[in-house]
Amino acid sequence: MSAIHTGPVNRREETQIVEQGSIEQTTQIVQDVAAERQLIAARIINLIWLKVSASMTKRLLFLSALLVAVSFLATACAAARASTNKPIGVITSPPSNSQFRAGEPVTIQSTSTDPVGIARVELAVDGDVVRTDASPKPQVSFTVLQTWIATPGAHVITVRAINTENVFGEPAAIEVSVLPGAITPMPTATFTPLPSRSCVNNSTFVADVTVSDGTVFAPGQTFDKIWRVRNTGTCAWGAGDVLAFVGGEAMTTTTAIALPITAPGAAADLRVAMTAPTKPGGHTGSWRLKGAGGAFFGATLNVVINVASSAPNPCPWTPVIESFAASPTTITAGQPATLNWGVVIGAERAEIDNEIGGVATPGSITVTPMTTTTYTLTATCGSKVRTAQVTINVVSPSPRP
């Protein structure tokens, strides 16, 4: 029976067991280190994300605040622009708390300004619009006279301007009181035919050739007022017949102007050279035709102007004359011809030489030159001048065969 040797065998097994335990322990350590590193990495990534998120949040909050500020600023600017673009109007006459009689015409003078141009002006009494006057063309400054027939009681009169963008200005207001009892009208002159004349004198107003009602002039500025009048009577106008000043302000030292020879049914242009008063405000003069026997007849002719409180600013534009022509351009001596002109843009004044004077544009006038004549239309804007010319050739009548 042989002995069993177990010693060496047990040592190898022990060694194998020990080695297997070391490997398992080492593996566990490596796994623990890896897990710890993953946890650290995750914490670092989380910290970085929190910082990045906080930074993005701050940026988003800053951008949101900036957008709100920009929007508020844009709204404020728009509101400021809207407020500054409103027309501004003032009532220059009559003064507030004035008194009138029932039935009396009350003339309200106002001046409105706006950088984009005044389109129209509304006159209201106690909140009710009683008339609207449009500007002849968009003007930065527009002065207008508006009339209301007074009714008894206390009233608030307002004037409000509207610019070319249809923006309404704040109303300018005055208070007036109207006493009961109508104004007794002034007696008007009536025509009494002369016993020695079998015809009848009469006239009707046709048009303001120059200086429409409410035209603004500088103090002391000269101008020519021309009325176009038609002879609607049966008498021809001639020697002894005059245009005479009858009331208001004459604005001239010549208060009687001889009438041109005018047949019944024909029209004549009656010109009076005038000078604007030096006192600012509205000024009116009235004229009528008077026959050789001293009797007045026909329509009353009025000149209504405004005098500015100070000389206007220097004119910044260069005038443009749309057209200037004559029809016909060749006539026989004594034959009439018509001068026609279009709109004059960017001018303070337009006038025609050969004793015609200042004119409104567009317009026309009848002339009867006895010799070949060149007419010059001159438009001025401060020191800037633009002219246009037309010549009417006058030929001798052909001899009879």
Condensed to tens digits (0 to 9), the pLDDT of residues 184-219 reads: 444 444 444 444 458 999 999 999 999 999 999 999
Q: Which of 21-35, 149-163, 267-281 has the lowest mean pLDDT?
A: 21-35
Which of the two residues, 184 and 337, has the higher pLDDT score? Answer: 337
Between CA 223 and CA 378 the distance in angstroms is 14
Mapping DSSP to helix (H, G, I), strand (E, B) and coil, where does residue 295 land?
Answer: coil
pLDDT for the residue numbered 3: 42
Which residues have C-beta within 8 Å of that of residue 133, sequence separation ≥ 6? 120, 121, 123, 144, 146
Q: pTM of this prediction?
A: 0.36
Q: Is the pLDDT of residue 59 over 50?
A: yes
Stated as kind and residue range, the H or E segment containing 2 is none
Place of tokens 């029976």: 1
Of the pLDDT bands very low, low, confident and very high (cuts 50, 70, 90), residue 396 is confident
What φ, ψ does residue 74 adopt, rounded to 5°? -65, -40
What φ, ψ does residue 153 adopt, rounded to 5°? 120, 180
Structure tokens at 399: 């001899």
Position 39, amino acid: L
Mean pLDDT value across residues 33-48: 67
pLDDT for the residue numbered 195: 45
Q: Per residue in 65-93, pLDDT tens? A: 556 454 544 554 444 444 457 889 889 88
- Beta strands 373-381 and 344-345, pairing class: unpaired
pLDDT for the residue numbered 313: 57
Q: Where are the alpha helices (DSSP H) in 267-349?
A: none
Supply the Cα-derived Rg of the chain in whole angstroms: 46
Of the pLDDT bands very low, low, confident and very high (cuts 50, 70, 90), residue 287 is very high
Closest by Cα among 242, 296, 306, 250 to 268: 242
pLDDT for the residue numbered 89: 86
Q: Per residue in 360-378, pLDDT tens? A: 888 999 999 999 999 999 9
Mean pLDDT value across residues 33-57: 63
Half-sphere exposure of 339 (CA within 13 A, CB side): 27
Stated as kind and residue range, the H or E segment containing 323 is none
Domains and CATH numbers, the chain: 88-179 (2.60.40.10), 203-307 (2.60.40.10), 320-395 (2.60.40.10)
Q: How far is CA 223 from the centre of its chain?
A: 23
Percent of the chain with pLDDT over 70: 74
